[in-house]
Amino acid sequence: MSIEIKNSEKPIKYEEAIQFMEKRLKDLNEKKAPELIWTLEHNDIYTAGTSFKEDEILDKKIEIIKTNRGGKITYHGPGQLICYFVLDLKKREKDIRKFISTIEKTIIDTIKFYNINTFPDKNNIGIWYNHESSIKKVAAIGVRVSKWIAYHGFAININNNLSKYESIIPCGVKDKGVINLKKIKDQNYNDLRKQLIKKFMTNLEN
């Protein structure tokens, strides 16, 4: 399977990442470039997917970038690992639900490597953790599909600033909070990026 793996160590501007993905989408569709999996971080930014509502912005002073991905409002920032992809579902099964399940399994498998058990929720997209008798989100997923090419991606909270979520209703879910891996279990997550790529590649082949 020919997939380019791209790892960016320094933060990438959100707009630049989207432009890069959209160009890759076009090139992949025209068979001019391979599929892509890209891990990176963004500096502080709030983005809104196609189904967000204005009342989900609690602090009206924050700047929101509207995007064409699915989903609602979320926050990106240092300490959160983003995994973007441009993947051709025509090479696999043309099944968007199955592809989302592959992403969910990849995140769960990656986090399980660190002896943390997480789970998906069919009513609220993302990956969740039972924390002190409440359910909190540890990873967000936002996907768009064009001509059976899936792009955008998902984000895992490792040691990001959770207070940033207080300005929004994250992903439109009012009754559940947000958490990061460091708060769940204070350990070394330096290899998480490597584990994520490994699990993603394995799950894409199954």
CB contact at 8 A, 76 and 155: yes
Specify the 3-state DSSP secondary structure of 93.
Answer: coil
- Single out the catalytic residue among 12, 171, 181, 197: 171
Residue type, 92: R
CA atoms within 13 A on the CB side of 59: 13
Question: How many angstroms separate the CA atoms of 80 and 138, rounded?
Answer: 10
> Which residues make Cβ contacts (< 8 Å) with residue 30, sequence separation at least 6?
none
171 classed as catalytic: yes
Q: Write out the DSSP string of 117-171.
A: --EE-SSS-SEEEEETTEEEEEEEEEEEEETTEEEEEEEEESS--GGGGGGB-GG
Catalytic residue IDs: 171
